[in-house]
Structure 1
Amino acid sequence: MAPENASSDLSSEMELDAFRRLFPLRFHERHLIESIRPDGRPLGNARDTTLALGAVASASGSALAKIGCTTMLAAIKMEVMTPTPESPDEGCIAIDFHMPPICSPIVRPGRPAEVAPVIGKQLSDTILSSGMINLKELSLVGGKAAWMAYLDIYCLDADGALFDTALLSAVAAFSHLQIPAVSLNDDGRVVVVSDENGGKLKEEPVNKEKRKLKLSRIPFSLTCILHKNYILADPTAEEESIMETLVTVVLDSSYQLVSLNKPGGPALAYMPAVQGCIALTRQRVKELQKILDESISDREVD
């Protein structure tokens, strides 16, 4: 009996897998009727989320973020620059988002992923408009020197909700960031203080030791799929490919709306569902803030 049961189970599993491949939308809709996802999640639940700060030893700030299988590595490099005449007492932030071929079978060598620049711009707009970082904190000498923070985010595994994971990795990297100590050398130029030059500098350091960047109104996001009367939080790549109406809500740590993005389609028809997405995002912000706080505490203990 055991071999026959095993053979029957295997046959059923193969039939289910074939049905999923041939009729993916019908396969998922059968689960929606039961208010559950193929991976066992309730419709409004996000996948397991983890953070690791200091993932890149050579960076001034870094983090590895995972939401389900989607994985992002963020690293910040600090360089001294001359501020612009329009903002003489402010530094700058430059963000690049990368999707190497290793992250997904749809990304081919030599052909950059079309979605990469879209996510990169969305990240820049979100971080700058949220008010998380006061650019004046990146000033060193008014009109003469300021910090340029280069943030590079690499997608290591693309399995849906790319923006949410990328934003989380960026926020975590800035939370981990330590701004180097700098001073003026004999030529009056700003230099990073090191063990070698610390005792030979003409002036007192502009900042005597490494310091953390003060963050406020930290943004977190949740992407949802709207399909018929259903709202699916934190979609996988498979879900995104067959149910195309996406809504990404960004709230700050005080639950104030930072942005809402729904590419294409009539906006008014989805307003009740959008309100549902915002409510789910409020819950998600609590989860992500707790994960971030625990990661920072663990890092400080280490």
Structure 2
Amino acid sequence: MSITPFNVPIVPKLKRETILSLAKRGVRIDKRRLDQFRPISIQLGAAGKAHGSALVSIGNTKVLAGVKIEPGRPFPDTPEEGVLNVNAELVPLASPEFEPGPPDENAIELARVVDRALRESHAIDMSELVLIPGEKVWVVWVDIYVLDHDGNLFDASMLAAMAALMDAKIPNHQVLEDGSVEILGPGVEPLPIRKKVVSVTLGILGDTFIVDPSLEEEAVADGKIFFAFDDSGNIVGIQKSGPAWLDFKKVSVAMEIARNRYHNVLAALNKAFQS
């Protein structure tokens, strides 16, 4: 578990006191239960030119993820595996807190958290992405764009990335005698997904944990803790941000709350591919 910077906008003192007071009584400013997600929606194929894409909304937070698959060289230490790269961009129109320019530490952290959860879970069977062992493999790019920031970017980004990967199709291609790869057109073969990965983020308000914190709740929280789960319920990633101090007991409580709620996110993901 690593700790990262925690940058949020300032909330007026009166609203801060209201949010904290309500949380202590088991109530939230938007009338949700402490362990309740905002409405989740997933639109597949939102970026027509991508090999796979998904637009995810959790409440008013909106994140677009696109997947591009292209031939490239494997990493020297994994010559018989494909390559996965995850990038994130905090689009300036999504929040007054986001600025134009190269990815800042928050964008880098967001990409790293999603990337790590996908890798640690072995969500994709990378051995199935080899074209010529040691020389040519499929490189899978996942680009995450935050379009509207109203809190809980981790869960929205994780869900968008996973949905886009499940939506993706490997390009129709042929491997030529000289070792080059000719792309013939759009494909029909899906990526070899082994596991579905979703996450649950909790805001930390003193001794109280709240699921799927809104932006206002994040602004008054002492920190956040993120749990990523595979579809068998195994924890494949944990990340803490903010100054809140958590002992083993508190982490265990947070983990159980998250474990009881990851099914909600997984159900939304499965539903998107049933319609």
- Distance in 1, matches of 2:93 and 2:232, equals 36
Structure 2 match to 1:139: 130
Q: Deviations over 1:10-54 (max 9, x none)?
A: xxxxxxxxxx83423211123224321111101111111111111
Query: For structure 1, which segment, 119-128 or 23-32, has the greater mean C-alpha deviation from structure 2 after superposition?
Result: 23-32
- Matched to 1:282, the amino acid is R
Give yes or no for the alignment of 1:262 onto 2:253: no
- Distance in 1, matches of 2:86 and 2:13, equals 40
Higher relative contact order (CA 8 A, sep 6+): 2
1:122 aligned counterpart, secondary structure: helix
Preserved CA contact (<8 Å) 1:24 1:242: no
Ranges of 4+ aligned residues in structure 1 off by more than 6 Å = none
Aligned length: 264
User: Unaligned stretches of 5+ in structure 1?
Assistant: 1-19, 196-208
Q: Deviations over 1:211-230 (max 9, x none)?
A: 11222232211111222332
Structure 2 match to 1:250: 228
Aligned in 2, Cα 1:106/1:220: closer, same or farther, shift over 3 Å? same
Preserved CA contact (<8 Å) 1:251 1:281: no
Preserved CA contact (<8 Å) 1:97 1:152: yes
Q: Deviations over 1:166-206 (max 9, x none)?
A: 000000001101011211346552111249xxxxxxxxxxx
Structure 2 match to 1:78: 69
Give yes or no for the alignment of 1:238 onto 2:216: yes
Preserved CA contact (<8 Å) 1:97 1:154: yes
Percent of aligned positions that are identical: 28
Query: For structure 1, which segment, 225-234 or 106-115, has the greater mean C-alpha deviation from structure 2 after superposition?
Result: 106-115
- Matched to 2:269, the amino acid is L
- Distance in 1, matches of 2:103 and 2:129, equals 32
Give yes or no for the alignment of 1:171 onto 2:148: no
- Distance in 2, matches of 1:112 and 1:183, equals 36
Aligned in 2, Cα 1:96/1:111: closer, same or farther, shift over 3 Å? closer
| TM-score, scaled relative to structure 2 | 0.89
1:286 aligned counterpart, secondary structure: helix
Q: Please, which of 202, 225, 230 is the counterpart of residue 224 of structure 1?
A: 202
User: Unaligned stretches of 5+ in structure 2?
Assistant: 1-10
- Matched to 2:77, the amino acid is E
Q: Which structure features the higher share of helix residues?
A: 1
Quote how far apart the aligned CAs of 1:247 are.
Answer: 1.2
Structure 1 match to 2:79: 88
Aligned in 2, Cα 1:22/1:266: closer, same or farther, shift over 3 Å? closer
| TM-score, scaled relative to structure 1 | 0.81
- Distance in 2, matches of 1:194 and 1:82, equals 21
- Matched to 1:257, the amino acid is I
Aligned in 2, Cα 1:137/1:186: closer, same or farther, shift over 3 Å? closer
- Distance in 1, matches of 2:43 and 2:181, equals 32
